[in-house]
């Protein structure tokens, strides 16, 4: 199990994380992330079970396919569009 907690770090770009295939838990809460398109990439995060992106700056959620995802928190963002 690989866990990463980058909460409360002022991060704005998380695209480098898309290649972490063994990642199972990712906490990115309370940052400055405006673009979450890396989560919509084909085969991105195949083992992710837990994801917290709450209280960031994005307004669009990509088409995200993560077959093992059990928990997702995207609250506190100003979502205007959620893709299929």
pLDDT of 31-71, one tens digit each? 999 999 888 887 788 999 999 999 999 999 888 878 899 99
Cα separation values, 78 from 39, 50, 74, Å: 17, 21, 9
Q: What sign results for the dihedral spanned by CA atoms 77, 63, 53, 37? A: negative
Radius of gyration in angstroms for the set of CA atoms belonging to the chain, rounded to a whole number = 12
Task: Please state the domain extents for the chain.
Answer: 1-76
Question: For the domain bounded by 1-76, which CATH number is listed?
Answer: 3.80.10.10
Q: Is the whole-model pTM more than 0.75?
A: yes
Nearest alpha carbon to residue 28 among 53, 60, 3: 53
Name the 3-class secondary structure at 40.
Answer: helix
């Amino acid at each position: 199990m690989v866990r990463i907690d980058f909460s409360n770090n002022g991060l704005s770009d998380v695209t480098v994380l898309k290649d972490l295939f063994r990642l199972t838990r990712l906490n990115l809460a309370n940052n400055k992330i405006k673009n979450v398109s890396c989560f919509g990439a084909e085969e991105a995060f195949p083992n992710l079970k837990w994801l917290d992106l709450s209280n960031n700056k994005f307004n669009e959620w990509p088409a995200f396919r993560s077959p093992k995802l059990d928990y997702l928190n995207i609250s506190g963002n100003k979502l205007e569009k959620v893709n299929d």
